[in-house]
Amino acid sequence: MIRVAGESDLVQLSRIDHEIFPHDAYPFFVLRQLFEVHGERFLVLDCDSRMSGYSLLATTPDGKQSWVLGLGVVPHARGVGHGRRLMVESLDRLSADRVAEVRLSVEPGNAVALNLYESLGFSRVDHRPDYFGAGSDRLILRLSLSG
Ligand SMILES: CC(C)(COP(=O)(O)OP(=O)(O)OC[C@H]1O[C@@H](n2cnc3c(N)ncnc32)[C@H](O)[C@@H]1OP(=O)(O)O)[C@@H](O)C(=O)NCCC(=O)NCCS
């Protein structure tokens, strides 16, 4: 089941964020502030009553562009469609909001995420060396939602 995250989910959300991104998890205070600002776009996926994944998409102030700030599924629940379901649900909500385009950054070697995003229609638009600091290159992908 996919649902909008609530304040009482934050502790568990932070736990799974650390499981999913052991080196790059959001500090708890950042997660909380993201929740305060983008709460409606913080989706969590429950499987067998356990929080197993989340997505976070944030829209720019002009309402035209969104960025995927987080997408992840806990390691033991991967490969059964949860990541795809989270992205499809997130994109449906952005389309309903009439957001024109979605962008994201992804590690060039993250083949699983690249397969998922490209199968949903995202295309590579840039390769940014040191995007997240020295040695942290990222590919930038883009998807048009305006047809
Ligand atoms: C990326 C991630 C969210 C995918 O979630 P998932 O639930 O495992 O993915 P799904 O089962 O929904 O599969 C979606 C697609 O991903 C790709 N994929 C999934 N597992 C794969 C694997 N082992 N090898 C290659 N591609 C794979 C496929 O394109 C798949 O589509 P298909 O099932 O139609 O073939 C998950 O692997 C994850 O949390 N990774 C760590 C965090 C991360 O890298 N997040 C993205 C940051 S940009």
Judge if the beta carbon of residue 20 lies within 6 A of ligand 1. Answer: yes
Judge if the beta carbon of residue 114 lies within 6 A of ligand 1. Answer: no
* Cα torsion 109, 111, 22, 130: sign: positive
- HSE at residue 5, side-chain half, CA atoms within 13 A, is 30
Q: From the CA of 52, how far away is ligand 1's center (Å)?
A: 14
Nearest to 145 by CA among 90, 81, 70: 90
Tell me which CATH homologous superfamily contains domain 2-144. Gcn5-related N-acetyltransferase (GNAT) (3.40.630.30)
Alpha-carbon dihedral angle through residues 112, 42, 122, 67, given to the nearest 10 degrees: -120
Judge if the beta carbon of residue 82 lies within 6 A of ligand 1. Answer: yes
Task: Report which ligand 1 atom has the smallest distance to the Cα of 82.
Answer: 7
Per-residue pLDDT of the chain (147 residues; tens, 9 = 90+): 999 999 999 999 999 999 999 999 999 999 999 999 998 889 999 999 999 999 999 999 999 999 999 999 999 999 999 999 999 999 999 999 999 999 999 999 999 999 999 999 999 999 999 999 999 999 999 999 987
Judge if the beta carbon of residue 118 lies within 6 A of ligand 1. Answer: no
Q: Whose CA is nearest to atom 40 of ligand 1?
A: 72
Domain definitions of the chain by residue range: 2-144
User: Which residues lie closer than 8 Å to 8 by C-beta, 6 or more apart?
Assistant: none
DSSP run (H or E) holding 139? strand 138-144
Please tell me the predicted confidence (pLDDT) of residue 146: 85
Task: Report which ligand 1 atom has the smallest distance to the Cα of 115.
Answer: 29
Please tell me the predicted confidence (pLDDT) of residue 39: 84
Please tell me the predicted confidence (pLDDT) of residue 93: 96
User: Which residues lie closer than 8 Å to 57 by C-beta, 6 or more apart?
Assistant: 38, 41, 66, 67, 68, 69, 90, 93, 94, 102
Please state, in angstroms and rounded to a whole number, the distance separating the CA atoms of residues 93 and 89.
6
Q: Are 68 and 101 in contact (CB under 8 A)?
A: no
Nearest to 102 by CA among 130, 121, 82: 121
